[in-house]
Amino acid sequence: MSNQLYISEIQNLFDTVQRSEIFEDQKMMTDAVPLFPIAKINEDYEKAKDAEGFDLKDFVLAHFDFLGAKISIQREDHLPIKEHIEKLWDELTRTAYEERGTLLKLPKAYVVPGGRFNEFFYWDSYFIMLGLKVSDRVEMMENIVENCSYLIQNVGFVPNASRTHFLSRSQPPYFSLMLDLLFETTHKEDIYIQYHDTLEKEYAFWMDGEEEPENNSGVKRVIRTEDGDILNRYYDAENAPRPESYLIDIEDHEEASGDEFYRNIRSACESGWDFSSRWFADGEHIQTIETLNLAQVDLNCLLWHLETTLAKSSALQNLFEKEKYFSERAAKRRQMINKYFWDERMKIYKDYHIKKNTTTPSEHIAALYPLFLGIADQDQAEAVAQALAEKFLYPGGLVTTTKNSGQQWDLPNAWAPYQWLGFKAMKNYGFHELAEKIKNNWCSNVERVYKNTGKLMEKYNALDTETIAGGGEYPNQDGFGWTNGVYLQLQQN
């Protein structure tokens, strides 16, 4: 991956552009493609910047290409929603056979989420695949798996998204679940053998440094508890403002304490939940973010699935030692998930605070993962189902937390991934009525917004089904990959 230094090579110009807010969206500059060699751009900038009448925006527009900065989808006629989604798959398809600016090259075509997002996103792609399966677009499902494998083989992991400034973090590890989905679609068992090496490499990335932590501390993505048990956390290798949200981070940092503020922010981005009261020590303010102090229930469940899949892919090749190793690790992690993340008093799964040796106060929808993956027992599932019905399910779908902080991954917003996880989790444990209610509440919300706007949104307001969802560092986006995927999959179930 040759050009990962690209943004740091234009740091002075980049810093000035982001601080001066000449673009409404900080992502614009990170996605810009240089029209000249970097050395020439820097030289031109140094010469021009102090001259009389220098216009920063004009300079940037003359030196960079902003092609395809925003996906705008216009329809003359208002198609039925499913036909609209079928057309969207083609409109959201991109290729990147060579590197351009910050965009990483990928061997296969892929589907982007939509709106301002013009790159391949890791966990979004799993939920996009759910819809591609319904649309019978098997080749694109295979492309997604192939692109993930290419990134794991070449970078060591799947970055948050396919841009150079995401090479310090991943996203929820869904690769093993993508293989399951592809297997369900094609019934070719050899895909587990084909990607065995890729699964091992991704596992090595998440477990990197596991020998190192002392009790009650963490190294990279691994933490060791007071009892000496190993759990995982989200993490980012960099401790600096995010280029794509540069000024926001710098401003938030001014009122924050602790020297790991930027890393905590970035680590929350690795979870996909940027941002939520789930990460805040005081439950209210982003300045108190402490992602690094937590072992997260969703991540540990996904890694249990990865270990289980590695045991399966080892067994298929008669690699008995490896099969035993990964089976034992999965069994141990299953115990750990119930030991550390189950809150017996509140009867729900939560994150675990490694400094306080207790679950965190935040009640959130990632509690679904042990049910989605079949790790919970029936009593636990019943308690989670009850919490879901009482605290999370609203007329427009499942909300992510029980707290309204103004952050986008908090109440009142409903996000596509968790409608699927909720539906499937309830089905797994026989709560069919609740599963149907989750499906119907959210799907009717999606249909209503589509009827009124002609758009499929990134997120929805679950409480007030008359308004469009808000919060977050940018406006609600139209497109939208995982909404399309989950809607189609739910409608088929």
- pLDDT (tens digit, 9 = 90+) per residue, 33-82? 999 999 999 999 999 999 999 999 999 999 999 876 566 666 667 899 99
- pLDDT (tens digit, 9 = 90+) per residue, 243-286? 999 999 999 999 998 899 999 999 999 999 999 999 999 999 99
- Percentage of the chain exceeding pLDDT 90: 90
The 8-class DSSP code of residue 100 comes to: B
Tell me the DSSP string of 135-204. TT-HHHHHHHHHHHHHHHHHHSS--SBSBGGGTT---S--HHHHHHHHHHHH--THHHHHTHHHHHHHHH
Positions marked active-site:
274, 458
Q: Which of 445, 427, 430 is nearest to 493 (CA)?
A: 427
How are beta strands 348-349 and 342-343 bridged, if at all?
antiparallel
Per-residue pLDDT at 469: 72
Question: Which helix (H) or strand (E) element contains residue 343?
Answer: strand 342-343
What's the average model confidence in pLDDT over 78-104? 94
Per-residue pLDDT at 3: 43
pTM of the predicted model as reported, rounded to 2 decimal places: 0.97
- With bands split at pLDDT 50, 70 and 90, how would you rate the model's confidence at 1? very low
Q: Facing residues of 231 across strands?
A: 223
Per-residue pLDDT at 5: 57
Tokens 């709106």 correspond to what residue? Answer: 115
- pLDDT (tens digit, 9 = 90+) per residue, 354-378? 999 999 999 999 999 999 999 999 9
Q: Residue 441: is its pLDDT beyond 60?
A: yes
Per-residue pLDDT at 464: 84
Residue 432's contacts (CB-CB under 8 Å, 6 or more residues apart) are 426
